[in-house]
Amino acid sequence: MSPPALIGVDWGTSSFRAALIDREGGVLERRVAATGILEVSGGDFETRLRELLGSWLDAHPGLPIVLSGMVTSRQGWLEVPYLPCPVTPERLADALAGLHLEDGLALRFVPGLSTRRPDGLPDVMRGEETQILGALAQVPEARTLLLPGTHSKWVRVEAGCVLNFSTFMTGELFALLKRYSILGRLVQGETWDEPGFERGVKVGLAAESPAGASFARLFSARSLVLAGELGTNAVESYLSGLLIGSELREAAAIAADGEPVLLVGEPTLAARYARALELAGRAFALAAPDAAARGQHRLALLARLLEGRGR
C-alpha cells in the first residue's frame, strides 16, 4: 500500500467510523467510537473530530477529509441539501460541500439523496449513498442493492446511476417490539435460534397480501409460544425472521426480474439477510467490507482531492 492520501469519516447518529486511506483506496487504519452526532457536546464537532483523529492529523498534516452520514444533516456539523435522484457518481462528487478550518484543514461533506417512491411518497438517505458508490466500484454491473440496517434501503441503479430507492424501518421496528411490546417480554437471553429465524422468514414471505398482512402476523411471536409451538429462546430470532421476510416480500417488485441483489453492510446482519434471500429463492452477492471508505475514496478521486498525494 502507498502512504496515506485521505481520511474518510462515516459519522452517524450513534457511531463514528473513520478510515485512513491510501491513494489506491486501501484502508491502512481504522478508528471506531460510540460517539454519534447527537452525543457531540454543544455541537462542537471540530473539537470532537480532533480528539478522535488527533494522531492521524499530527502524523499526516494536510490530508483531505471526506465526511458522510448524518454529520451532513440538520442535526450535524454542516447541513448539505439532498440531491434528487437520479444521481451519478460525478454529480455527487460535484455536490461535495467544503469547509476550511482556521488551521487550513480541508473538509468535504457528502450530500444525501432524495427520491419519490412509486406511491408518490418522498424518501431520503444519508450515508448510504457513499456505501453504494463504494460497492459499485467493486461490482459495477449491480442493478439492485440492499443495505440492511436500522432503516434498510433497497436501491435501483443503472450504469452506476442511482435511479431511486425505498426505505424499510425493519431494524428499528424490531428493536421497538423487542424492548417495549408484549412480544419482547417473552425474549430470554440473547441466544440466536436459526430454526426460529427461518420459520419467521417463511411466515413473513408467505403473507397473502402486502397490505397489513405483516401486522396481522406479528402476534404469532406470542401465540406460537402459548400454543407450545415455539420456545421462548426462539422468540427473538423468529421475530427478526418475520420482519425480514415481510420486508423481502414487500420489496420483491424492486427487482422483479429476478436479478441478483448486492448486499452491502455489516457482516453479521448481511449474513442474516443472505439466509433470508436464500429462503426466498433470490440470487444475491455480498459486497466486500469497507464500502463507505471505498465510496469516500472514489468521491475524492472524482473531486480531484488526491492529485499529487501519496506518490
Would 189 be classed as within a structural domain?
A: yes
pLDDT band with cut points at 50, 70 and 90 for residue 90: very high
Would 127 be classed as within a structural domain?
A: no
Cell reading at 52: 478522535
How many distinct structural domains can be found in the chain? 2
Q: What is the pLDDT of residue 214?
A: 73
Would 138 be classed as within a structural domain?
A: no
Entry pTM: 0.92
Distances (CA, A) of 174 to 154, 192, 213, 240: 18, 15, 16, 7
Residue 107 has pLDDT above 60, yes or no: yes
Query: CATH number of the domain that 57 lies in?
Result: 3.30.420.300
Percent of the chain with pLDDT over 90: 80
3-class SS of residue 11: strand
Full domain range(s) for residue 267:
168-286
Average pLDDT, the chain: 92
Q: What is the pLDDT of residue 309?
A: 58
Query: CATH number of the domain that 255 lies in?
Result: 3.30.420.310
Would 209 be classed as within a structural domain?
A: yes
SS3 content of the chain, % helix, strand, coil (to 5): 40, 25, 35
pLDDT band with cut points at 50, 70 and 90 for residue 216: confident
Q: Phi, psi at residue 220, to the nearest 5°?
A: -65, -20
Would 31 be classed as within a structural domain?
A: yes
pLDDT band with cut points at 50, 70 and 90 for residue 213: low
How far is the C-alpha of 290 from the C-alpha of 25, rounded, in Å?
Answer: 10
Would 194 be classed as within a structural domain?
A: yes
Q: Are residues 21 and 95 in the same domain?
A: yes
